[in-house]
Amino acid sequence: MNLTFLGTGGGLPSPQRGVSAVALQYGREILLFDCGEGTQRQFMNASLSFMKISSIFITHLHGDHILGIPGLMQSMNLSGRTEPLAVFGPAGTRDFMQAALALGYFNPDYEIKTCELAPGEAVEVAGLMVKAVAADHTVPAISFIIQEPPRKGKFSKKAAKELGIPEGPLYGKLQNGLSVNVNGKVIEPSMVMGPPRKGRKIAYSGDTRPTAAFAAAAADCEVMIHESTVMADLEEQGLEFGHSSAAAAAKIAKAAGAKKLILTHFSNRYEDLAEIEAEAQEIFPETMAAADFYSLEINYSE
């Protein structure tokens, strides 16, 4: 499981930053969260293949989060894509996609499936559960919680030996959930396996004022990605336009018990992100401000 930040700017691109796009690699697939203009080129610069995108998740319909979709779809078509592409987003996503395709500039040779998600609804993609959470922005918007399913518990070799199970194929059967017979005694997997271990969890805010609902939904996540359009001195202005400050994002991460906070969606007034990062770190030390093409491998907490 790997995250790559393809665009970390808010509103419009700058020489230093593209606009919102985050790629989550899981297995052989990529889930793309938001798709600002020029995202397909950002994929190339990041040495990632946009052809591996199976799904696009849109937080809201502001241009810096959706205008890259038509170009990305056309680039996929010109590159010979045949696999279906799924697009998920809030109310209005279906109309936007129909309008983008109705222009008639190209006719994709692959199927495009569009699904609108209301807060509380979830879909399973690539073995991950992606849930929509209500966001607080100036237009209808959602945040996303990405949850990996639980993993098997740890196998206790000590317990197996105490039960007289010989090393070898029987260990594998028990780890795969199968009962085995040893000297006429049935051994159940629960006798040698620990409790299931939770899968990894990522929380992606999109554009939003800070909300307790997002903190609650993101509880105990390995990584929280939260917008940080402004610093605390401009917090009131940020709230007026539906955005969060770095300090507010840090408070949300702390309330959620997140393991790590990554800030993104920075106003172009900030060229150097050191002060933004420091502001959040005073509240939540495990914070970093993402730059374009920053990549992070997400490890298991246990």
239 vs 60: CA distance, rounded Å: 17
Produce one character per residue of 95-104: b if its CB has 16 or more CB atoms within 10 Å, e if not.
ebbeebbeee
> In what helix (H) or strand (E) does residue 225 lie, and over which residues does it extend?
strand 223-227
Contact partners, residue 43, CB within 8 Å, separation at least 6: 6, 23, 49, 50
CA dihedral 281, 284, 285, 291 (to 10 degrees): -60
The answer to whether 64 is a known catalytic residue is yes
Q: Which two tokens stand for residue 286?
A: 């495990």
Alpha helices in 140-290 (DSSP H): 157-162, 169-175, 212-217, 235-240, 246-256, 274-281
Among 34, 64, 207, 292, which one carries the catalytic annotation? 64
Pairing of β 112-116 and β 85-89: parallel
Catalytic amino acids? Answer: 64
